[in-house]
């Protein structure tokens, strides 16, 4: 493509100076040396602009990401992609914060969109230059509005979504057919109420291996919260988490959710306390007819289940919505950003989005609509059958302490254990309210004071 003038980088929000920031900054020096060892060795070839990219993509996702990097470099040979893969979970987000505070961050990185409220307000990220993205073929209109808005903070856009990865239902089409749950096209017919969901579970149990619905959460930090928050959002109730508290929880709506879960996973037709692995294996082996989990399990299930179907999580209360998160591109803060590299990072992000068909083949829903709504993507099965889940994504409540890989998820999942295998739904509501109140009084360490 013809060369264009290199623009000045977009203005950067001030980074707060605090004891916490100084401590993090010192740790970032060590991180910079460690991360450098993970990137490809040797100097960048002459005439190519390096784009250092941090992600948490491992396994199958890592292999697909490598395919996308190769496509980007083929289409933009003036770019040299230098990927670094770091461990999933809190370690990743801690290192990203440390690198940003220390000003030694990569040009771009992946962040779960649900984690943005803990980073953008603290000056740990740069805003995107929307004119640059548009130059490379990406505009806000190319995304679901609700998803795009979650990347905004103040007057800037701090995250650009790569995908939506929702909580969905997988089902065995043969067992579902025997249970009378399929429509004339052989797909799961709509389940429109909590009663219909319970009845569907019982029908599946009678039709097959003795269990209706598998759901594993006992040894997983997030699964219980994902299911609870999915259902709570469908009641139309709000959850507000103002700084300093108290949390504003609709206790009646929460009780509706816990009571439904207790009836659904009653230990009879559906187990009450499954581990993640047990639930996955039980469905794959035909011992249950339906599995509640994220679309990220699609590659494994396609290899393990002969008659695999999938659908968005059903709307069983008053308002549609599917729990989801999004892998999103961010621009970590740097002390002295190079305008040429800033431009290269924007081009890299745009090209990754335009090549996200590869990502969609793994089960993720491409956030970039020209790919996600393309004939090629919609020909994929069963992806096309749950693609509608991207239209009503329900992300975590916007708070610095929520989001993927957070301790908050662990506390929230504990309440589901209380409802299903402990003191019961009423006690779970009390536990939830107390846990929320304990979180809202905590101080965001990235925007703390100077003491």
Whether the pLDDT of residue 154 is over 90: the answer is yes
Statement to judge: residues 156 and 193 lie in one domain: no
How many angstroms separate the CA atoms of 352 and 68, rounded? 6
Statement to judge: residues 131 and 53 lie in one domain: yes
Statement to judge: residues 229 and 299 lie in one domain: yes
Statement to judge: residues 403 and 267 lie in one domain: yes
3-class secondary-structure state, position 328:
strand
Q: What is the pLDDT of residue 47?
A: 84
Confidence of residue 33 (pLDDT cuts 50, 70, 90): very low
Residue 11 lies in a domain: no
Residue at which a domain ends, from 336, 365, 385: 385
69-73, 147-151, 443-447: segment of lowest average pLDDT = 443-447
Alpha carbon separation from 105 to 13, 156, 333 (Å, rounded)? 16, 20, 7
Q: How many domains are contained in the chain?
A: 2
How many angstroms separate the CA atoms of 383 and 163, rounded? 13
Summarised one tens digit per residue, pLDDT across range 281-290 is 999 999 999 9
Statement to judge: residues 185 and 299 lie in one domain: yes
Residue 368 lies in a domain: yes
How many angstroms separate the CA atoms of 433 and 62, rounded? 38
Residue 5 lies in a domain: no
> Is the separation of the CB atoms in 183 and 189 below 8 Å?
yes
Average pLDDT over residues 314-336: 96
Residue at which a domain ends, from 362, 385, 408: 385
Residue at which a domain ends, from 363, 385, 407: 385
In the structure encoding, which two tokens stand for residue 283, read together? 């469905």
Q: What is the CATH number of the domain that holds 241?
A: 3.40.190.10
Q: What is the pLDDT of residue 36?
A: 37
Statement to judge: residues 238 and 155 lie in one domain: no
Whether the pLDDT of residue 133 is over 50: the answer is yes
* Strand blocks (E) in 18-150: 49-55, 79-85, 108-112, 125-126
Statement to judge: residues 315 and 329 lie in one domain: no
Which structural domain, as residue segments, surrounds residue 355? 19-164+325-385
Whether the pLDDT of residue 265 is over 90: the answer is yes
> Residue 324 class from Cβ within 10 Å (0-12 exposed, 13-18 middle, 19+ buried)?
buried
Q: What is the pLDDT of residue 1?
A: 42
**DSSP state letter for 16:** P
Q: What is the pLDDT of residue 339?
A: 96
Q: What is the CA radius of gyration of the chain?
A: 23
Q: What is the pLDDT of residue 448?
A: 54
Q: Is the peptide bond before 246 cis (omega within 30 degrees of 0)?
A: yes
Statement to judge: residues 125 and 272 lie in one domain: no
Q: What is the pLDDT of residue 210?
A: 85
Confidence of residue 25 (pLDDT cuts 50, 70, 90): very low
Query: What does residue 53 show for φ and ψ, rounded to 5 degrees?
Result: -135, 120
Statement to judge: residues 41 and 151 lie in one domain: yes
Confidence of residue 46 (pLDDT cuts 50, 70, 90): confident
Spell out the residues 6+ positions from residue 274 whose beta carbon is closer than 8 angstroms to its own.
Answer: 214, 215, 216, 217, 218, 282
Statement to judge: residues 438 and 337 lie in one domain: no
Residue 2 lies in a domain: no
Residue 85 lies in a domain: yes
3-12, 77-86, 166-175, 241-250: segment of lowest average pLDDT = 3-12
Q: What is the pLDDT of residue 45?
A: 75
Chain-centre distance for alpha carbon 355: 19
Q: What is the mean pLDDT of the chain?
A: 90
Q: Is the pTM of this model over 0.85?
A: yes
Residue 433 lies in a domain: yes
Statement to judge: residues 247 and 184 lie in one domain: yes
Q: What is the pLDDT of residue 22?
A: 27
């Amino acid at each position: 493509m013809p060369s264009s003038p290199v623009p000045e980088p977009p203005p950067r929000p001030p980074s707060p100076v605090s004891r916490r920031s100084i401590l993090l900054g010192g740790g970032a020096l060590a991180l910079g040396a460690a991360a450098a060892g993970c990137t490809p060795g040797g100097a960048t070839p002459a005439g190519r602009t390096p784009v250092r990219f941090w992600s948490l993509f491992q396994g199958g996702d890592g292999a697909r990401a490598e395919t996308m990097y190769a496509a980007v470099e083929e289409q933009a040979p003036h770019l040299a992609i230098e990927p670094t893969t770091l461990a999933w979970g809190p370690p990743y987000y801690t290192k990203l914060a440390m690198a940003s505070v220390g000003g030694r961050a990569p040009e771009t990185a992946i962040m779960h969109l649900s984690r943005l409220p803990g980073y953008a307000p603290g000056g740990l990220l740069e805003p995107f230059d929307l004119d640059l993205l548009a130059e490379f073929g990406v505009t806000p209109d190319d995304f679901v509005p609700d998803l795009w808005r979650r990347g905004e903070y103040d007057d800037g856009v701090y995250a650009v979504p790569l995908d939506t990865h929702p909580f969905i239902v997988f089902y065995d089409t043969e067992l579902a057919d025997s249970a009378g749950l399929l429509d004339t096209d052989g797909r799961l017919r709509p389940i429109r109420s909590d009663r219909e969901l319970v009845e569907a579970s019982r029908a599946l149990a009678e039709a097959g291996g003795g269990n209706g619905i598998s759901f594993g959460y006992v040894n997983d930090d997030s699964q219980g919260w994902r299911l609870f928050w999915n259902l709570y959002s469908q009641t139309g109730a709000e959850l507000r988490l103002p700084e300093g508290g108290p949390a504003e929880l609709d206790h009646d709506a929460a009780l509706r959710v816990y009571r439904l879960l207790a009836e659904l996973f009653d230990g009879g037709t559906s187990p009450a306390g499954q581990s993640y692995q047990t639930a996955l294996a039980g469905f794959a082996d035909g011992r249950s007819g339906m599995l509640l989990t994220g679309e990220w399990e699609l590659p494994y299930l396609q290899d393990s289940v002969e008659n695999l179907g999938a659908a968005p999580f059903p709307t069983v209360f008053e308002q549609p919505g599917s729990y989801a998160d999004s892998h999103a591109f961010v621009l970590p803060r740097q002390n002295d950003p190079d305008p040429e590299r800033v431009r290269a990072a924007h081009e890299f992000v745009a090209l990754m989005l335009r090549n996200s068909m590869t990502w969609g083949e793994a089960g993720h829903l491409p956030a970039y609509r020209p790919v996600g709504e393309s004939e090629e993507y919609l020909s994929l099965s069963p992806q096309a059958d749950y693609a509608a889940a991207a239209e009503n994504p329900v992300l975590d409540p916007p708070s610095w302490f929520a989001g993927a890989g957070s301790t908050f998820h662990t506390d929230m999942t504990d309440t589901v254990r209380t409802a299903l295998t402990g003191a019961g739904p009423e006690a779970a509501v009390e536990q939830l309210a107390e846990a929320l109140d304990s979180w809202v009084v905590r101080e965001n360490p990235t925007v703390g004071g100077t003491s």
